Amino acid sequence: MKKIRYKKAVIDYKDIIYNQAFYFTGNKEDAEDITQEVLLRLWHHFNNIKRTSLKAWIMKVTRNLCIDYSRRKKEVFLMAVNDNDRESTIWENLPDERSNPENEVINIDLKEHIAKTIKRLPEKIGNIVIMRDIQDLKYEQIAEVMELPLNSVKVYLHRGRKLLLKNLSHYYKNYKSDFNLE
Amino acid sequence: MNCQEFDKLIVDYIEGDLASNQNKAVEDHLQHCNKCKIAFENYNEIILNTNRLPNFRCPDTVIEKVYSSIPAKKRMIPKLTEIYWNISGSLSWKIRYAVAAAAVVLTVLIFYPSGEKPGYDQQIYTAEEIEKAKRDVEIAFGYLRYSALKAESAVETHVIKEPLNKSFKITINNILKPLFNGG
């Protein structure tokens, strides 16, 4: 019985975990490792997690592992001479689930820039932007995962969007640098 | 409404979470302040573009690795046979077989509560054979009654390590009663 319920949870949440990890780390291999680790932890704690808080539990563990991975990566990055080659390959060989004519409007260059900018955002802001603007999670769920009041989630999200806008200003013709950027 | 106040309300305005008077104030400000109007258009566009980032599918290999790492089913409650072998050390061979027989009889009672019998071929027996069978059954019931008492005390000593619940004893007796009375 546990196995059946667990497998259903895996089907429901594997892509959410993978995308959260992918956009946070900007790396396919790390996203795979994190997804695997989260799902294994889920198995070991499955009987102790309330069904109603399953999603929040999963996202919390994903967030913590993402932080661990990025810390480890930072250490490796400091030792590496040049990591630019790896950086430029994050969009290669990945199947695009949402590919349809409408999405062709955004060119790959802008997509890559947005993704890279999200990755560089401060941890809390980055996670919130991914959860809300990419994964479409509800504010209440984000607040539970981040252990923040609802209002703070909105403040961080607003700040994140403005930071994205600032960093991608060259894509926007009428961008005004004096827009209230805190 | 000034530009700073407008800035603080953008998120709720986009979500449609503002009260109607605040909503109107935001819209008025957007009509009169060109700077905020452009900023708002850009803000909306960045949300739209972030929304359009692809949602990737987690590779199947990841899930395969997860499933292969999950240990085989662990039994948290010991099997009845395990309990039986654990307690049987303190019982004589006659009692052991009687307990096993009791288990079989109980299983039959549970699965055929309405007195239905498992299918068998109809056969005619001689009076002598029937008498012998009756005697064997009486002996078996004797063992059964004795083994039920032994099993009770063995369960109390070795499994639950406290006296059996009174209502549980009554239930067992009720199940076995028809057998003891030759029912």
Query: Which structural domains are found in chain A, ordered by start?
Result: 1-81 (1.10.1740.10), 103-182 (1.10.10.10)
Burial of A121: CB neighbours in 10 Å, binned 0-12, 13-18, 19+: buried
DSSP letter (8 states) at residue A107 = -
Q: Nearest CB to B46: which of A97, A103, A168?
A: A168
Give the residue extent of every domain in chain B: 3-51, 80-180
Cβ–Cβ contact B49 with A under 8 A: yes
Q: Which residues of B touch A109 (CB under 8 A)?
A: none
> For residue A156, how many C-alpha atoms fall within 13 Å in the half-sphere facing its CB?
25
Q: Are B66 and A10 within 8 A, CB to CB?
A: yes
Contacts of A132 (CB under 8 A, 6+ apart): A139, A142, A153, A157
Alpha carbon of B3: minimum distance to chain A alpha carbons (Å): 8
Angstrom distance (rounded) from CA A12 to CA A23? 19
The per-residue pLDDT for range B130-178, each reduced to its tens digit, is: 788 778 777 777 777 777 777 777 777 777 767 777 766 676 667 666 6
* Residue B52 · residue A98 · CB < 8 Å: yes
Q: Are A15 and B57 within 8 A, CB to CB?
A: yes
What per-residue confidence (pLDDT) applies to B85? Answer: 59
Selection from B111, B170, B109, B180 nearest residue B147 by Cα:
B180
The per-residue pLDDT for range B80-93, each reduced to its tens digit, is: 555 655 565 556 66
ipTM of the complex: 0.76
pLDDT for B110 beyond 60: yes
DSSP H helices, chain A, are 2-25, 28-45, 54-79, 84-87, 108-120, 123-129, 139-146, 150-167
Selection from A115, A104, A99, A89 nearest residue A28 by Cα:
A89
